Structure 1
């Protein structure tokens, strides 16, 4: 649907300079994923259009389930949208198919982000999108279930070995499962596994584009996942992360990995909860987490590429982005006001601490192929259809075709 803001700006231009001038304006079409445009974005667009009347913004809201497919279909058909909200994991595929343009960043711009955030939109030394949303995870636990199992409710696990041992004790001594395991055929099964990888200094693909996941660090992660499966909710292949979170909120599991938004949900549910950095594997160098970003991608062939880049950087400028993140409950992309955030809401600290040793989603040429190979690997291990070493070697071989 065309944004009412565009229509309003057209009417304004028609009244001041004539309808012909309004019709000559070079429209920047913008696909936004979700159910509605964030109210802050409405204000940002109004501000942009006031300063750039010849480049009005025409927004279209597309649901999360269809958004990526629509953007891809339009670009492949030669009728691209000017700007779109996409998962950063898709950027390499778009770029190699000559569908998007680079989004140059100065060293100052890159340096303003948290460590590794620019890496989520970079390959071959070039940035291909403007980061717009950021997610990190931490470990949440139900203090009442810890106490019921004979564990100290104020002391969460700090290592994988402790997490597995705590999960076993909770499973054996309460009616709840110790750990919420995500293994459904859904993208966040891969995401949740990558938290294990990045809390053990593991990698999927290195800086030169080599698949390096068949390593002792990643094998240890997959083995730990197998070891904790008996102490997780029954039938984990039926659950994605939001469904696991719902079981946790209902008291059915004691520990989950989740984003900052779970804090408010737990409080609303009346849970006695805590949050801490993700437990670490034996090779960890420090707190880690998967660093997931979404980005604004600028598509090729619209004639307004430069202005679309300018608009993308305008609405994600530090203060505007910070306001959007705080309204949406997102991990900050930049440490603009992080000290004040932690002082006001201490539970944010583990979500920020994990960034230093975190890692990005792997940028491959076929994200769906990557995702499917990783999901199949996880599912084969948690269902005992394959041993971790064999499953890992098989998945690593499959990923070679998607580099």
Structure 2
């Protein structure tokens, strides 16, 4: 069963036509409306007085659940900020409508960004926030361990070896591995998968997790665990970032937000592309997006989709992405991005990793996927399972959730 679209309503002879002169409700995640969005909402309202934007700000913890609950109850918001990972589930549940992109629109984005919102060759959301990761290292800890402080690891083998040397010679953990029962434990591992040319699910919905590429990533996790912060299952990525900022771990994979925190500190640090596995084609990273989803049965689907594309248009989006407190990666290449990389060198690895990166996998039950992946990682990190056994078990379990 495919989701309902506005055209589908018309062909079916229903009365679910766009209302004339109706507000577009937007469930907006956060504690306030970003000033960039607030400015351009004003511009939209001035140009579209019959379709004003009515924003409801909802905290991150409740935001997506509220959008889902309203839609399932038959009283949806017109538009909601959602994790793109949920789009497939929303689409198959007929809660959202497609927001197709032209070939020109798709080509404007960095490679694979559109893949994060694409299911069944159709786009189900418009990317509004984008995150990539890179490797940070503490140069002083490298020097203290006798390593060249200006030469970060370029491969997994070097990363594991450097982590061991630092741990052995300084007593400070060499690497910050996060394995808490939290969504970013899966994300952190997927960065390793995508720096070794691995996948979780292919375009035909086949589970391809149990592969040599992913096995190598899980084996590398096992190998680096002894040189990471003790008790990795107690930490999620932001907690591990705090440990790195306190100079109590030597290497960490994190977003550009960490650089924005580090640039005003006294730490002697560097950042580079994520180290590569033996099967990598080039620098990679997990590509995570949040997107604007247009919900079915609001009566203003067409105008909501128009607004979603307006508020994420290139000129507005780059202004939003470069808000200093967000720590986002730009979604599209542009002269402004080129200038940014030239002006602020720490941006380069976050852009460079996109070309060989991969999207967050789209499953019909995202939480099921997440739990399986976290269990797999934790079983290897704690030593309760060997990598191959954990991988095979996880691949079999994921069949239920695809």
| TM-score under structure 2 length normalisation | 0.94
Offset of 1:269 from its aligned partner? 2.8
Offset of 1:267 from its aligned partner? 2.2
Match of 1:69 among 65, 78, 88: 65
Match of 2:201 among 178, 201, 205: 205
1:182 aligns with 2:181: no
Corresponding residue for residue 216 of structure 1: 212
2: CA distance, partners of 1:54 / 1:139? 48
Corresponding residue for residue 90 of structure 2: 94
Unaligned runs of 5+ in 1: 1-22
Offset of 1:343 from its aligned partner? 0.7
3-state SS in 1 of match to 2:241: helix
2: CA distance, partners of 1:253 / 1:59? 41
2: CA distance, partners of 1:32 / 1:118? 21
3-state SS in 1 of match to 2:291: strand
Corresponding residue for residue 364 of structure 2: 365
**Pairing of 1:199-278 with structure 2 (within 5 A):** 199-278=195-274
1: CA distance, partners of 2:327 / 2:155? 27
**Pairing of 1:388-403 with structure 2 (within 5 A):** 388-403=387-402
| Equivalent pair of 2:260/2:327 in contact (CA under 8 Å) | no
3-state SS in 1 of match to 2:174: strand
3-state SS in 1 of match to 2:251: strand
1:278-331 CA-to-partner distances (Å, cap 9, x unmatched) read 000000000000000000000000000000000000010001000000113310
1:377 aligns with 2:388: no
2: CA distance, partners of 1:344 / 1:208? 42
3-state SS in 1 of match to 2:191: helix
2: CA distance, partners of 1:65 / 1:109? 31
**Pairing of 1:45-124 with structure 2 (within 5 A):** 45-124=41-120
* RMSD over equivalenced CA pairs, Å: 1.0
Corresponding residue for residue 338 of structure 1: 337
2: CA distance, partners of 1:367 / 1:240? 19
Corresponding residue for residue 12 of structure 1: none
1:174-197 CA-to-partner distances (Å, cap 9, x unmatched) read 131000001000000000000000
Unaligned runs of 5+ in 2: 1-18
3-state SS in 1 of match to 2:250: strand
Offset of 1:143 from its aligned partner? 0.3
1:150-195 CA-to-partner distances (Å, cap 9, x unmatched) read 1000000000000000000111111310000010000000000000
2: CA distance, partners of 1:339 / 1:115? 16
2: CA distance, partners of 1:296 / 1:24? 22
Offset of 1:24 from its aligned partner? 7.6
3-state SS in 2 of match to 1:99: coil
3-state SS in 2 of match to 1:370: helix
3-state SS in 2 of match to 1:86: strand
Match of 2:142 among 139, 146, 149: 146
Corresponding residue for residue 9 of structure 1: none
Number of equivalenced pairs? 381
2: CA distance, partners of 1:204 / 1:95? 20
| TM-score under structure 1 length normalisation | 0.93
Q: Which moved more, 1:261-270 or 1:59-68?
A: 261-270
Runs of 4+ in 1 over 6 A off after TM superposition: none
Corresponding residue for residue 282 of structure 1: 278
3-state SS in 2 of match to 1:85: strand
3-state SS in 2 of match to 1:177: coil
Corresponding residue for residue 329 of structure 1: 327
Offset of 1:270 from its aligned partner? 1.5
Match of 2:164 among 158, 161, 168: 168
Offset of 1:116 from its aligned partner? 0.4
